[in-house]
């Protein structure tokens, strides 16, 4: 069994296009089963960017990771709308991290 897992892992990282396509399709199906991931992702991004710890490099890394996950969402517009609402609240209450003044 371990050898099979090793072979599948090697095929995925080795560039097997069919396997990568199947993996992306399966992940997309799981992501879009409900809207919970869309809401969770927006709240997670807002909450993480609101905290006072971390650096700007970590913020860029977080944005890249969220962008990679959000490309699998069917309801990307709902994600953007919720994130924009949360960003507006953050701006309204002046609740940013790494504020340079």
Q: Residues 34-53: pLDDT tens digits?
A: 888 889 889 988 888 876 55
Return d(Cα 50, Cα 46) in angstroms, integer. 6
**pLDDT in the model for residue 82:** 92
Q: Could you identify the residue written with the tokens 């809207």?
A: 35
**pLDDT in the model for residue 60:** 82
Dihedral of CA atoms 30, 32, 38, 39 in degrees, nearest 10, equals: -90
Q: Could you identify the residue written with the tokens 């199906």?
A: 29
**pLDDT in the model for residue 85:** 94
Total-model pTM? 0.65
Please list the ranges in the chain whose pLDDT falls under 70: 1-2, 5, 8-16, 51-56, 95-101
């Amino acid at each position: 069994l371990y050898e099979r897992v090793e072979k599948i892992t090697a095929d995925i990282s080795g560039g097997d296009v069919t396997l990568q396509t199947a993996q992306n399709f399966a992940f997309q199906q799981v992501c879009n089963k409900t809207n919970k991931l869309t809401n969770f992702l927006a709240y997670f991004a807002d909450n993480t960017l609101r905290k006072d710890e971390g650096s700007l490099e970590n913020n860029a890394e977080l944005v890249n990771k969220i962008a990679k996950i959000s490309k699998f969402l069917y309801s990307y517009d709902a994600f953007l709308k919720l994130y924009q609402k949360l960003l507006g609240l953050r701006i309204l209450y002046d609740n940013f991290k790494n504020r340079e003044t």
